[in-house]
């Protein structure tokens, strides 16, 4: 059939020809051309008449039908891009344009306690996006200032934003983007599940679709039989069948970005928008339209859009996200505990610094569910945590562990009845000091079979080795402080570094009393063999102990005296090592999208002060 199509196609392009001419154009032998023409005539697809030395061919209805069918089939066939096999960790946000209704870029308009742009970034971070490229134009300095504290955000500038479309803004990043990325505009607010629909699954080249919003400025989409985008238009009269509206979020493979740059290079229309470049590429490569039913989203191009976002859309998103988090917790409990949905009575958010904890009441009892924070797997040894937490639970030091998955990090513990979580004030009460000293002795002096070590200096170097990959930079003065910490660490080794079972994360929130006054050590993520003075240093440092508080605690931990001078020196060294460690940890976490405010800089500055104090006391 392909050869017959070729003959009919050649005849359609030039009805008057001779066989030799057709053969040359099709790169066929004259004999084969004569045979195909004869076959076409026999099948009623073609009629031939002589015009001197040439022939005039007329395509008959059966021949025209074959041409139409073949062309239709070819138009539907598209090339498929192979998935990279790597998760998408980068997003590009275009924030260059100016809206007539606003003096500032729409991205910087207030939304809740933040701005539209920061809300967008936070949502994407919760989906696993780690790095952001924001292209600014109008009020670019204001955009840079707003994002100055986000170490995982790079702001580029399109200086010609007044005279160019979004494709030119994207061209600013040529040579910067090396992998697949999410592409979206900065005036967009949407549910988390919209972004997740593009990040999950195998199709590497796709766009997010939703039901038409009725805003009057929709980009309507028509799909082909394979679910790929066939046409994009803001003119509904050009769409045979409206199958969704383009939300404005795309998943773009690296090779498609290269195609975009090549196809738009040297273009005469500077106002070209990236959506139409992608539509053109989608004529050859499958550009999937990912429809998310009942998606809540809004773009802000006018004051009316903004008021709708503030008063209707964003409150709906918050309510829905809260309900979805609750549903995630409920589904997790049902899955890991073998419960029925009807067993879940109440779920409350219970805080968490790097993980999310929930207080869950069920018909079987009350539990605390931990769902791990994103990307914590590289910072935490979950296998060791599970072993140590289970042994501590069996020995009554930890609250009762019900479920712990070393692969997912999901953990369920029994709720401590009439629980009182200590804080930095109550941790300094004498009765609580006595309880802490007792439980630390129970741990430090035990035969607890911890297989792993926790060395704060080695951990610091491990976190440090991850900084370059995350494009993260330490605070000013890091190299000088690092040299001091290395020297002080040598002093610790000379004093003698003991190896005993230790908790290694003695913040107040990990110390919980039940209604009968029994104390538990919870959260064993960092537990491992270490010098016992590390735990005491952590207890002092995290709870802001004054010198007199430390002396009172020594009374309970060292009731028979002991080598207090060595203990004090070790504790000061471990305070230094902890501040050094957790300041690097904070920079690394913030490079991956978290925001800890002044926590990191304050620990870094205190580490510098404690180093100076150490040299004053113990000599350089």
Helical H runs in 413-477? 430-444, 456-466
- Position with higher pLDDT, 378 vs 600: 600
Q: Over 90: is that where the pLDDT of 12 sits?
A: no
71: pLDDT strictly greater than 60: yes
CA gap 495, 130 in Å, rounded: 41
Q: How confident is the model at residue 387 (pLDDT cuts 50, 70, 90)?
A: very high
d(CA 214, CA 130): 33
The closest of 148, 547, 127, 102 to 305, measured between CA atoms, is 102
Closest-CA residue to 206 (of 191, 217, 221): 221
Asked whether the predicted pLDDT for residue 16 surpasses 70, the reply is no
Instruction: Please tell me the predicted confidence (pLDDT) of residue 22.
Output: 82
Q: Tokens for 597, please give them.
A: 């405010």
Domain with CATH 3.90.550.10 in the chain: 90-301
| Cβ proximity of 262 and 154 under 8 Å | no
State pLDDT tens for residues 309-345. 999 999 999 998 888 888 889 999 999 999 999 999 9
Whether the per-residue pLDDT at 446 is higher than 90: the answer is: yes
pLDDT confidence bin for 58, thresholds 50/70/90: confident
Are 195 and 124 in contact by the 8 Å Cβ rule? The answer is yes
pLDDT grade for 374, boundaries at 50, 70 and 90? low
The pLDDT, as a whole number, for residue 140 is: 95
> Residue 377: what pLDDT?
54
d(CA 357, CA 97): 40
Buried b (16+ CB within 10 A) or exposed e, 433-444: bbbbbebbeebb
Q: Half-sphere exposure (CA, 13 Å, Cβ side) for 375?
A: 18
- CATH class of the domain comprising 90-301: alpha beta
Residue 500 token pair = 């005993």
Give the pLDDT score at 354.
Answer: 65
Indicate yes or no: pTM above 0.75: no
Specify the pLDDT at position 75.
Answer: 64
Distance, C-alpha 203 to centroid of its chain? 18
CA 19-23-26 angle, to 5 degrees, is 135
For position 3, what pLDDT does the model report? Answer: 84
For residue range 123-177, list pLDDT tens digits in order: 998 888 888 999 999 999 999 999 987 878 999 999 999 999 999 999 999 999 8
Token pair belonging to 253? 């493979």
Cβ distance 169 to 137 under 8 Å? yes
pLDDT of residue 400 exceeding 60, the answer is yes
**Residue among 372, 371, 368, 370 at smallest CA distance from 414:** 368
Residue 478's nearest CA partner among 466, 486, 470 is 486
Q: Which CATH number fits domain 2-76: 1.10.10.10, 3.40.50.1100, 3.40.50.300, 1.10.540.10?
A: 1.10.10.10
pLDDT at 376 over 60: no
Task: Give the count of alpha carbons within 13 A of 546, CB side only.
Answer: 4
In the predicted structure, residue 378 carries a pLDDT above the cut 80: no
The count of other CB atoms within 10 Å of the CB of residue 526 is 23
The pLDDT value given to residue 593: 66
Instruction: State the Cα–Cα distance between residues 507 and 453, nearest whole angstrom.
Output: 19
**Any idea which of 257-271, 441-455, 548-562, 585-599 has the lowest mean pLDDT?**
585-599
610 within 8 A of 603, measured Cβ to Cβ:
no
For residue 525, the tally of other CB atoms under 10 A from its CB is 23
Q: Are 40 and 7 in contact (CB under 8 A)?
A: yes
Binning pLDDT at 50, 70 and 90, where does residue 225 land? confident
Q: State the span(s) of the chain assigned CATH 1.10.10.10.
A: 2-76
CATH no. of 372-618: 3.90.1200.10
Nearest to 436 by CA among 537, 529, 511: 511
pLDDT at 557 over 90: yes
Q: Which of 189, 195, 206, 184 is nearest to 135 (CA)?
A: 184
How do residues 252-267 score in pLDDT, each as one tens digit?
Answer: 999 999 999 998 887 7
Q: Which residues contact 591 (CB under 8 A, 6 or more apart)?
A: 130, 151, 152, 467, 470, 471, 472
Segment 272-290 mean pLDDT: 88
The mean pLDDT value for 355-373 works out to 89
pLDDT in tens, 169-222: 999 999 998 889 999 999 999 999 999 999 987 789 999 999 888 777 788 888
% of residues, the chain, pLDDT over 90 = 56
Mean pLDDT, the chain, as a whole number? 89
SS3 472: coil
Domain ranges in the chain with CATH number 3.90.1200.10? 372-618
Task: List the one residue out of 504, 517, 527, 500 whose CA is nearest residue 401.
Answer: 527
Note the pLDDT of residue 395: 94
Query: Residue 232 — left, alpha, or beta (φ > 0 → left; ψ -120 to 50 → alpha)?
Result: beta
Nearby residues of 85 by Cβ (< 8 Å), 6 or more positions away? none
User: What does the pLDDT read at residue 457?
Assistant: 94
Q: Quote the CA–CA distance of 452 and 554 in Å, as a whole number.
A: 28
* Residue 619: band (very low, low, confident or very high) from pLDDT cuts 50, 70, 90: confident
- pLDDT at residue 52 greater than cutoff 80: no
Quote the CA–CA distance of 564 and 561 in Å, as a whole number.
Answer: 7
Whole-angstrom distance, CA of residue 566 vs CA of residue 188: 59
């Amino acid at each position: 059939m392909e050869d017959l199509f070729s003959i009919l196609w050649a005849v359609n392009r030039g009805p008057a020809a001779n066989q030799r001419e057709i053969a040359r154009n099709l790169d066929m032998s004259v004999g084969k051309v004569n045979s195909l023409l004869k076959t076409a005539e026999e099948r009623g697809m073609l009629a031939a008449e002589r015009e001197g030395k040439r022939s005039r061919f007329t395509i008959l209805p059966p021949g025209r039908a074959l041409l139409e069918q073949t062309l239709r089939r070819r138009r539907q066939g598209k090339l498929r891009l192979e998935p990279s096999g790597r998760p998408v960790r980068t997003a590009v946000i275009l924030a260059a344009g100016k809206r007539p209704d606003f003096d500032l870029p729409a991205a910087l308009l207030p939304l809740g306690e933040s701005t539209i742009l920061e809300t967008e970034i936070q949502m994407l971070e919760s989906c696993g996006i780690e790095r952001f490229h924001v292209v600014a134009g109008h009020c670019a300095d204001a955009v840079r200032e707003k994002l100055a504290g986000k170490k995982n955000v790079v702001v580029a500038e399109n200086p010609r934003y007044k005279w160019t479309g979004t494709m030119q803004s994207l061209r600013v990043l040529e040579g910067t983007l090396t992998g697949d990325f999410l592409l979206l505009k900065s005036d967009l607010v949407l549910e988390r599940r919209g972004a997740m629909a593009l990040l999950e699954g195998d199709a590497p080249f796709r766009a997010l679709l939703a039901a038409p919003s009725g805003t009057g400025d929709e980009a309507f989409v028509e799909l082909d039989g394979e679910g790929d985008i066939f046409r994009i238009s803001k003119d509904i009269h050009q769409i045979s069948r409206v199958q969704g509206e383009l939300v404005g979020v795309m998943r773009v493979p690296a090779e498609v970005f290269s195609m975009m740059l090549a196809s738009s290079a040297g273009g005469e229309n500077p106002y070209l928008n990236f959506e139409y470049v992608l539509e053109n590429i989608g004529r050859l490569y499958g550009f999937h339209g990912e429809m998310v039913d009942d998606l809540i989203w809004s773009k802000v191009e006018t004051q009316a859009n903004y008021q709708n976002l503030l008063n209707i859309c964003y409150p709906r998103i918050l309510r829905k996200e809260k309900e979805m988090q609750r549903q995630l917790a409920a589904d997790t409990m049902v899955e890991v505990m073998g419960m029925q949905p009807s067993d879940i009575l109440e779920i409350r958010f219970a805080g968490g610094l790097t993980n999310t904890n929930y207080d869950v009441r069920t018909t079987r009892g009350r539990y605390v569910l931990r769902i791990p924070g994103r990307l914590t797997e590289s910072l935490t040894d979950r296998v060791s945590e599970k072993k140590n937490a289970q042994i501590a639970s069996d020995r009554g030091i930890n609250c009762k562990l019900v479920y712990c998955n070393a692969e997912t990090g999901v953990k369920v513990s029994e709720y401590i009845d009439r629980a009182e979580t200590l804080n930095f004030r109550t941790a300094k009460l004498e009765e609580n000091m006595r309880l802490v000293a007792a439980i630390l002795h129970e741990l430090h002096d035990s035969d607890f079979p911890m297989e792993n070590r926790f060395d704060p200096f080695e951990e610091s170097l491990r976190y440090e080795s991850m900084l370059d990959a995350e494009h993260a930079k330490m605070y000013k003065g890091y190299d000088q402080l690092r040299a001091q910490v290395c020297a002080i660490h040598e002093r610790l080794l000379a004093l003698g570094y003991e190896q005993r079972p230790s908790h290694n994360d003695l913040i107040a929130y990990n110390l919980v009393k039940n209604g009968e006054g029994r104390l538990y050590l919870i959260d064993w993520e960092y537990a491992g063999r270490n010098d016992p003075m590390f735990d005491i240093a952590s207890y002092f440092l995290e709870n802001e102990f004054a010198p007199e508080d430390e002396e009172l605690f020594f009374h309970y931990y060292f009731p028979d005296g002991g080598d207090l001078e060595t203990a004090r020196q070790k504790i000061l060294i471990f305070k230094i090592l902890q501040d050094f460690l957790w300041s690097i940890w904070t920079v690394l976490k913030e490079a991956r999208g978290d925001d800890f405010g002044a926590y990191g800089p304050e620990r870094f500055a205190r580490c510098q002060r404690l180093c100076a104090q150490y040299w004053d006391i113990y000599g350089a």
